[in-house]
Amino acid sequence: MDEDLISKKDLLEQTGISYGQLYRWKRKNLIPEDWFIRKSTFTGQETFFPRERILERIKKIQAMKEKLSLDALAEMFAPGGGKRISKADILKRGIASDFVLNFYIEQTQAQEQAFPFEEVLAIFLLEKLLHGGEISLEEGKMLVGLLQDAEKSFATEGTNVWLIRKFGVSTCFLTKKAEDILFDREAKVIVSLDLMELSAELKGKWL
């Protein structure tokens, strides 16, 4: 599955940002290094970006840069950070419902009174998928098991979570920086989520 790309020239024209801004945001880690994709064209080497992800990221930066410093934005887009959040705050900030939070605790047998960012991201993911009706409770259990097996590595840049079904049978997996994935034509993609984009959304509630 090829990801749609946008050239640097078209990106600058479409978003109204300058070359200098783009590379300053890169230096500040607001835009990941691996989103700058060098490709050969008939005019030579050109830089391209994953269209949907870069446009969404720039939209968020432009909307928030008046309220937050570039360093604060970089922290928002970065995973982890060592902070923990209590069960009460997860509910208070609308990160997850009581049902989903208790479902996660039951599956993981978590004893903590406060959760690290990576676990809260897993809870936030479950909230979106279960309350959105995209997955069943059994599929939710499978997804929790996958994220536990992956430990903290699942929250890194370029990771996508997938859930597919074929003939009513589901499976889920993580990919890192995958450019081409070809599925059996009878398999249906139920979930395909960029976890760093989900992480940035969660940081808006976390900070």
What pLDDT shows up at residue 47? 93
Positions of the chain with pLDDT under 70: 1-3, 78-82, 151-157, 177-180, 206-207
Residue 118 has which token pair? 């990576």
Q: CA-to-CA distance for 3 and 62, rounded, in angstroms? A: 24
Q: CA-to-CA distance for 108 and 89, rounded, in angstroms? A: 19
> Per-residue pLDDT tens for 98-153?
999 999 999 998 877 788 888 898 999 999 999 889 999 999 999 999 988 886 56
Burial track 34-55 (b if 16+ CB lie within 10 A, e otherwise)? ebeeeeeeeeeeeebbbbebbe
DSSP letter at 2 equals: P
What pLDDT shows up at residue 155? 62
Residue 113 has which token pair? 């009174």
What pLDDT shows up at residue 73? 83
35 contacts: CB under 8 Å, gap ≥ 6: 49, 50, 53, 54
DSSP letter at 34 equals: G
What pLDDT shows up at residue 177? 64
What pLDDT shows up at residue 148? 85
What pLDDT shows up at residue 1? 42
What pLDDT shows up at residue 201? 82
- The fold of 5-77 is Multidrug-efflux Transporter Regulator; Chain: A; Domain 2 (1.10.1660)
- Per domain, the residue ranges of the chain are 5-77, 84-206
Q: CA-to-CA distance for 179 and 51, rounded, in angstroms? A: 13
SS in 3 state form for 85-124? Answer: EEHHHHHHCCCCCHHHHHHHHHHHCCCCCEEEHHHHHHHH
What pLDDT shows up at residue 150? 80
